[in-house]
Amino acid sequence: MVLNIQETRIVEFLSSIKKNISCFCEDNNVILKVSHSFKDKDCNYFDAFRIEEMLLNIVSNSLKYTKQDDEILLESFIKNNLLVFKVSDTGKGFKSQTDMIFNKYYKENENTSHKNSSGLGLYICKLIAEKHNGNINAYNNAQGGATVEFSIPTDNICNRTAIYSANKN
């Protein structure tokens, strides 16, 4: 996999993500909320297509377990000089050890109504995160649902002043 690393304005990117993913959420009567701590001109260098692919996959997984009229939260912020993307849902959470879910062909529950799953989505997300010199992890959140978050370095951040001030929060 070859990445197409380009300067990406984070607020514009998140707005585009919300627009592109909201239609899937609306089809399932689920609300997608997006929260971030960036200013309009803040940017970073990453492959926007691949990061969007990751977010679409993670939200798609969340939609399988989030009830109608509930919500999925996409957050993005800087922490420890990393650009973090965090997706949390209010579904059932993970039943097994979360380190297993990033294995190739892994499916947590073969007996679900989601038989179209190949078990490759989160594995591909892991590969994309690693190609960006980042990491990905998952855990059960306080609301009982699942959270998947990934981070990539901010070494090539465009607007360091804004990012450092956001990092202090």
* Per-residue buried b or exposed e for 18-30, using 16+ beta carbons within 10 Å of the residue's own CB: eeebeeebeebeb
Q: Which of 32, 37, 91 is nearest to 61 (CA)?
A: 91
For 56, the token pair is 């679409």
pLDDT tens, position by position, 27-54: 889 999 999 999 988 999 999 999 999 9
pLDDT surpassing 50 at residue 163: no
pLDDT tens, position by position, 41-97: 899 999 999 999 999 999 998 988 888 889 999 999 999 999 999 999 998 888 776
CA dist., res. 83 & res. 66, Å (int): 26
pLDDT computed for residue 28 by the predictor:
85
* pLDDT band at 159; cut points 50, 70, 90: low
CA dist., res. 72 & res. 60, Å (int): 10
pLDDT computed for residue 24 by the predictor:
84
Average pLDDT over residues 8-25: 92
CA dist., res. 14 & res. 11, Å (int): 5
Residue type at 35 in one-letter notation: S
Domains by residue range for the chain, with CATH? 6-167 (3.30.565.10)
